[in-house]
Amino acid sequence: MLLTSLILWAILGLIAAFLYYVHQVEPRRLQIEHIQVQLPGLPQELSGLRIAHLSDLHLQDSRHAIETGQNAVAQAMAQSPDFICITGDMAHHSVHAALACRTLSGLDAIHGTYAVLGNHDMDESLELDLLAKRHERVTVRQWLAYARSAGIILLVNRHHVLDIGGKTVVVAGVGDPSSGYDDLEAAVADAPESDLRLLLSHSPDIFDDPRAEWADLILCGHTHGGQVRLPGIGTPWAPVWRRRDRASGLMRVADGTVAYVSRGAGSGTRARFNCPPEVTILELTPGYAEDLRLVR
């Protein structure tokens, strides 16, 4: 009887320790991922360009969320990126739009900070569909104003043109594909011939649009990496319409198109296992990576 009780208490202790780690420890273990991205045809003048990629901060009026956002901003700025890209879910609900933009106003890079909206930014999520909405939705027009006041260029199915070292760079952004707000045709309409084409999308579902091959590099989030990665199994679940192998990391969409999907810096549900939050620093170099998995 005593041995049975000891075993039972040991099991309960392990479960409690696991739950504490999953909910309190790993969600705070923000990692800086340094990723070298090889792009065929990248001019030497753009070689070494460094992009800070943030996603899924889910900022809201809670100490954990605000600390997560402030830490992500500080970690990104410590890397001195050339420009910064945010791929949606800046806020957990649209009512937190102003708070999110204030928190992100500390981001600053020589070539600018660019963002797209995610499903949570527009109150398009499973839990918000199931529960009664308790606040009035913040409009895209209001988001644009908040972002502008924070020094963020918000790309809603449009593009922005940069000159970097005499080379033309186009950064395009679409509305969230998982919510049906994307219009890639409008986003790249009249985009000039360029030396580097970047596409920002909240969800990697944009990969299924044949026009995504316009981009040299696509940056996405939305999946949180699945939040749980089991040894030997991988990601049991990720919020993508098609393939779970799009959950996180560097991958190939087409012969001339590479993509990076972030695990995100925050999350709506504070639980992670073997899938820590991240801020990503992508360094661009000329070349072709033969070993990237094809996800389309």
**What pLDDT, in 10s, does the model give residues 143-178?**
999 999 999 999 999 999 999 999 999 999 999 998
Q: Token pair of 189, please? A: 């309409």
Number of H helices, E strands in the chain: 6, 12
Q: What is the pLDDT of residue 127?
A: 54
pLDDT tens-digit series, residues 164-217:
999 999 999 999 998 889 999 999 999 999 999 999 999 999 999 999 999 999
Res 210: pLDDT: 95
Low-confidence ranges of the chain (pLDDT < 50): 131-132
Q: What is the pLDDT of residue 262?
A: 98
Q: What is the pLDDT of residue 132?
A: 43
Query: What are the chain's domains?
Result: 2-286 (3.60.21.10)
DSSP E strands in the chain: the ranges are 31-39, 50-54, 83-87, 113-116, 152-154, 158-164, 167-173, 196-200, 217-220, 249-254, 257-261, 278-286
> Rounded to whole angstroms, how far apart are CA atoms 2 and 7?
9
Phi, psi of 59 (to 5 degrees): -70, 135
All residues at 6 or more sequence positions from 216 whose CB lies less than 8 Å from its CB, including other chains: 39, 41, 42, 196, 197, 198, 256, 257, 258
Residue 148 tokens read as 């502008």
Per-residue confidence (pLDDT) for residue 58, from 0 to 100? 96
Q: And the tokens for 242?
A: 């098609």
Model pLDDT, residue 205 = 93
Indicate yes or no: pTM above 0.85.
yes
Task: Give the pLDDT score at 246.
Answer: 86
pLDDT at res. 275:
87
